[in-house]
Amino acid sequence: DAGVTQSPTHLIKTRGQQVTLRCSPKSGHDTVSWYQQALGQGPQFIFQYYEEEERQRGNFPDRFSGHQFPNYSSELNVNALLLGDSALYLCASSLKGTGYEQYFGPGTRLTVT
């Protein structure tokens, strides 16, 4: 049973560029959430996708956008990258109706130079 997978593992980008991160949920899960974890901090909620729509959003600017595909996989897009966007980006999947029990992937480490 495959868990949550994310790609790529590491990424280095330059300020002002755009980046796309990808996530495949755990088998049987239909909901995907994205979190940003800065160094030394706890994860911060970016948004959650269910039925291909953004269901809830945290306090992140519009530069952060996402998408969910019919197979439940998801992408996180960040435009006009800033140095402060350097972080570990975590994807979590869950099944609607199970009390928000979320399973996390290994993350994508984004470095903005």
Q: Is 99 in the site for another protein (CB under 8 A)?
A: yes
Cis peptide leading into residue 8 (ω within 30°): yes
The nearer residue to another protein, 14 or 40, going by C-beta atoms, is: 40
> Which 31-50 positions form the footprint of another protein (CB under 8 A)?
31, 33, 35, 40-45, 48
Residue type at position 66 = G
Residue type at position 71 = N
Position among 56, 77, 111, 113 found at the interface with another protein (CB under 8 A) = 56
The nearer residue to another protein, 14 or 42, going by C-beta atoms, is: 42
**Separation of alpha carbons 24 and 105, rounded Å:** 9
Position among 58, 65, 67, 73 found at the interface with another protein (CB under 8 A) = 58
Sorted by sequence, the CB contacts under 8 Å of residue 8 that are 6+ apart come out as 21, 108
Q: Is 28 in the site for another protein (CB under 8 A)?
A: no
**Separation of alpha carbons 102 and 13, rounded Å:** 29
Binding site for another protein (CB under 8 A): 4, 31, 33, 35, 40-45, 48, 55-56, 58, 90, 92, 99-107
